[in-house]
Amino acid sequence: MATTSLWHIAGSLKDLVDYVENPEKTIEKFPELDDLWNAARYVQRPEATAHGQFVTAINCLKETAIEQMILTKQQYHKGDGYIAYHGYQSFKPGEVTPEQCHEIGVQFAKEMWGNDFQILVTTHLDREHLHNHFCFNSVSFRDGHKYNYSKGEQVRLREVSDRICLEHGLSVIKNPHKAPSRTVYFDERDGKPTRYNVYRDDLWDAIDGSRNVRMVERYLNALGYITDFTGAHWKMRLPQYRHFTRLDTLDDRLTPEFIRQNCGYRARYGNVRAVISYPPDVPEELSHVKEYQRRTSHIYRLYLYWCYELGILPKGTSYRPTSPFIREELRKLDMYDRETRFMAQNHIETLDELQEKMTETKSRMDELIDRRTHITYAMRRASPERKKQLQDEKKALTDQIAPLREQLRLMQDIEQRSLHIDKTLDRVIESEEKAYQTPTKSPQERSCER
């Protein structure tokens, strides 16, 4: 059984040439190209590939693969947009040998891209699950056309991989589901409250506390969820997300038939009401910061109010939020703590003060970048002794620019996040009002309670 994935690496030919010639000094200017450099360097790591035993180049030499990709781009004058693609093919632990894994990877790469593109194929042995990496040029060496990773190609990627696996006597995934993002996957693994395990917990509570499917939906709706219990696959989502999540992707057991048969574990006569808890002891100066459908420019107090809603403040509190809108945000505690501390340390209270600080930081950073650029030009004509001095000056400027860039990015995040907090608090209040409305019961339900 193999899982596959593929993603693009963006950049331009000029940037790529500069990067290959001197990666250490162009990483700050073109950080996106680090993906390609890491792809070519990472996929050939000696410790992961048995010292190069499981590295195969297709339509190029593995020692000069990136240089040959550059020549192909120059030949056809196609150096912009996506410059390469990086993907993997991962196998179930214990299902394949290293030799078989690499053989399948090379066969797969040749069939997918071997007629037109320069490819590096490597097999990594440093994980419990053996897996192949693919790094290939986005421009064809044959006719110069660019690779288009369309939905049709996504389907072909899975079909070719599955067929080759079956040819080698391996299992395949019969009902594939879209995998969560890498960040969400690791947060799920570490037990952090991601969207999906928040969905899962609330859904199980709804099933246990409801006597029938209609009550399950009502319980979830009271918490703020949008549900679609029609068709063969039932779905749910929170309003801030565009797409529904199928219940059987949260847990294979959560089919419509299973839910119908397992309602009512804790609900003897009706359904258990959805509970919304409130944070304790909100200070008076913060109690009026957030009012429903009213925005505030006092972002520092808004962040403090949000920390009370999350249960971060006051310190030592045992409060834990029950609203799904807030519980998912708990996985970002470190981020909210860092941003709140930054505003406190820099005496930033309002949105205007934040924007003023952003302008000041941007101006200072641009000034340093301009000085560094002039030093770069001067290095081209400098003597060896002077060049060494200029390199030291340039490094000193880079060391000053890096924290300013980080601060600017942090302030931009705070500006955007304050809007997100406002919207989330509005949704929380709406769900609280809905949860405490007296539900309208059908005659059958009222008769069951008599």
Q: What is the pLDDT of residues 99-141, one digit of tens each?
A: 999 999 999 999 999 999 999 888 888 777 898 989 899 999 9
233 found inside a domain: yes
Instruction: Note the pLDDT of residue 52.
Output: 56
Q: Most confidently modeled of 34-48, 294-308, 363-377?
A: 363-377
Question: Do 411 and 335 have their domain in common?
Answer: yes
Cα–Cα distance for residue pair 215/166, rounded to 1 Å: 45
pTM above 0.95, yes or no: no
Boundary-marking domain end, from 274, 293, 313: 274
- Which residue in 403, 408, 404, 397 sits closest to 374, CA to CA? 397
Domain count of the chain?
A: 3
Residue 444 clears pLDDT 50, i.e. is over it: no
Residue 290 clears pLDDT 70, i.e. is over it: no
8 A C-beta contact, residue 372 and residue 401: yes
Domain that includes residue 238, residue range: 183-274
Q: How confident is the model at residue 142 (pLDDT cuts 50, 70, 90)?
A: very high
Q: How confident is the model at residue 442 (pLDDT cuts 50, 70, 90)?
A: very low
Tokens of 319: 């409060």
Question: Do 131 and 254 have their domain in common?
Answer: no
Residue 441 clears pLDDT 90, i.e. is over it: no
Question: Do 306 and 429 have their domain in common?
Answer: yes
Question: Do 127 and 37 have their domain in common?
Answer: yes
- Mean pLDDT over 3-23 rounds to 67
Q: Most confidently modeled of 83-87, 187-191, 212-216, 283-287?
A: 212-216
Lowest pLDDT segment from 29-33, 95-99, 128-132: 29-33
Q: Which residue has the higher pLDDT, 174 or 13?
A: 174
- Angle, alpha carbons 264-270-271 (nearest 5°): 70
Question: Do 410 and 288 have their domain in common?
Answer: yes
- Mean pLDDT over 277-281 rounds to 75
Instruction: Note the pLDDT of residue 449.
Output: 41
Question: Do 66 and 135 have their domain in common?
Answer: yes
- Mean pLDDT over 268-292 rounds to 72
Boundary-marking domain end, from 274, 300, 322: 274
Lowest pLDDT segment from 208-222, 292-306, 353-367: 292-306
Instruction: Note the pLDDT of residue 182.
Output: 67
Tokens of 243: 């797409």
Tokens of 40: 């070519």
Question: Do 259 and 322 have their domain in common?
Answer: no
What number of other Cβ atoms are within 10 A of residue 113's Cβ? 20
8 A C-beta contact, residue 434 and residue 408: no
8 A C-beta contact, residue 179 and residue 20: no
Question: Do 152 and 190 have their domain in common?
Answer: no
- Answer left, alpha or beta for residue 112, where phi above 0 means left and psi between -120 and 50 means alpha: alpha
Cα–Cα distance for residue pair 284/281, rounded to 1 Å: 9
Instruction: Note the pLDDT of residue 26.
Output: 46
Q: Where are the beta strands (DSSP E) in 180-249?
A: 226-228, 235-237, 245-246
Burial of 327 (0-12, 13-18, 19+ CB in 10 A): buried
177 three-state secondary structure: coil
- Mean pLDDT over 312-322 rounds to 84
Q: Which residue has the higher pLDDT, 340 or 126?
A: 340
8 A C-beta contact, residue 446 and residue 439: no
440 found inside a domain: no
447 found inside a domain: no
Q: Give pLDDT tens digits for 40-90.
A: 654 555 555 555 578 889 999 877 888 888 889 889 988 778 888 988 898
Lowest pLDDT segment from 18-22, 165-169, 263-267, 305-309: 18-22
Boundary-marking domain end, from 247, 274, 301: 274
Question: Do 324 and 430 have their domain in common?
Answer: yes
Q: Which residue has the higher pLDDT, 399 or 125?
A: 399
Dmax over CA atoms of the chain, in Å, equals 97
Mean pLDDT of the chain: 83
Instruction: Note the pLDDT of residue 443.
Output: 43
Cα–Cα distance for residue pair 261/381, rounded to 1 Å: 80
Residue 379 clears pLDDT 80, i.e. is over it: yes
43 found inside a domain: yes
Q: How confident is the model at residue 206 (pLDDT cuts 50, 70, 90)?
A: very high
8 A C-beta contact, residue 101 and residue 108: no
Using a pLDDT cut of 90, give the percent of the chain over it: 42
Burial 69-94 (b: 16+ CB within 10 A, else e): bbebbeeeebbeebbbbbbbbbbeee
Instruction: Note the pLDDT of residue 445.
Output: 47
228 three-state secondary structure: strand
Q: How confident is the model at residue 359 (pLDDT cuts 50, 70, 90)?
A: very high
CATH of the domain at 81: 3.30.930.30
Question: Do 239 and 115 have their domain in common?
Answer: no
Question: Do 365 and 220 have their domain in common?
Answer: no
Instruction: Note the pLDDT of residue 415.
Output: 93
Q: Which residue has the higher pLDDT, 55 or 256?
A: 256
- Mean pLDDT over 309-328 rounds to 86
Instruction: Note the pLDDT of residue 7.
Output: 82
Question: Do 210 and 358 have their domain in common?
Answer: no
- Mean pLDDT over 337-358 rounds to 94
- Angle, alpha carbons 164-167-172 (nearest 5°): 65
Using a pLDDT cut of 70, give the percent of the chain over it: 82
Which residues on neighbouring strands pair with residue 235, listed in sequence order?
228, 246
- Angle, alpha carbons 407-411-417 (nearest 5°): 140
Instruction: Note the pLDDT of residue 396.
Output: 94
Cα–Cα distance for residue pair 205/264, rounded to 1 Å: 10
Instruction: Note the pLDDT of residue 424.
Output: 87
- Mean pLDDT over 325-350 rounds to 91
Cα–Cα distance for residue pair 163/102, rounded to 1 Å: 16
Cα–Cα distance for residue pair 213/262, rounded to 1 Å: 10
